Structure 1
Amino acid sequence: MRHGIHPASRPVVFRDRAANAAFLTHSTASSTRTIEWEDGNTYPLIDVEISSASHPFYTGATRIVDTAGRVERFERRYGLRAPAHR
């Protein structure tokens, strides 16, 4: 790897606001906000809306969507249909 052409990688804390979880990792991202980490050092802080701690794919939790409202809207639009007879 050539020196001097890559951005500097440094420890950064990413905080997931949805799950209230924080991760210390290396990144080239920068921030003016800082946080004091568990080891007593201060690191740049980057807030994210979703991460592996809150994403349904990684957590296995599904979010409930307003399906009742969708069904009611469908029935209003197209009406109730009688069951098909064989």
Structure 2
Amino acid sequence: MKEGIHPNYREVCFVDLSNGFKFVTRSCANTKEMIEMEDGRKLPLFKLDTSSESHPFYTGTQKSVDTMGGRVEKFRNRFARSVK
């Protein structure tokens, strides 16, 4: 492998700000803050707005927008009387 072209991967703690869920993985994300873990390790901290623990798609709380037919059918029903 070539020297000097690979990023510096290290363990980073990612925190979901919406529910406080934490997970540690290897990353090269730039961080400015540190966090002390329960086991005493100090790791770089990366704050997330949402993760798989809080995103509606993964939690099963996603709502279907189009439940009463397609968009074309809704358009035709809405404007059927004005087209004569």
- TM-score under structure 1 normalisation? 0.67
Inter-partner Cα distance in structure 1 for 2:34 and 2:24? 12
Partner of 1:25: 25
Deviation at 1:30, TM superposition (A): 1.9
* Count of aligned pairs: 64
Return the offset for 1:7: 1.1
Q: SS of the counterpart of 1:15?
A: strand
Q: CA RMSD in A?
A: 1.6
Deviant stretches of 4+, over 2 Å:
none
Correspondence for 1:2: 2
**Residue 2 of structure 1: CA displacement?**
2.3
Structure 1 runs not aligned, ≥5 long: 64-77, 79-86
* Identical residues among aligned pairs (%): 45
Per-residue Cα deviation, 1:65-84 (whole angstroms, up to 9, x for no partner): xxxxxxxxxxxxx9xxxxxx
Q: Which runs of 5+ in 2 are unaligned?
A: 64-77, 79-84
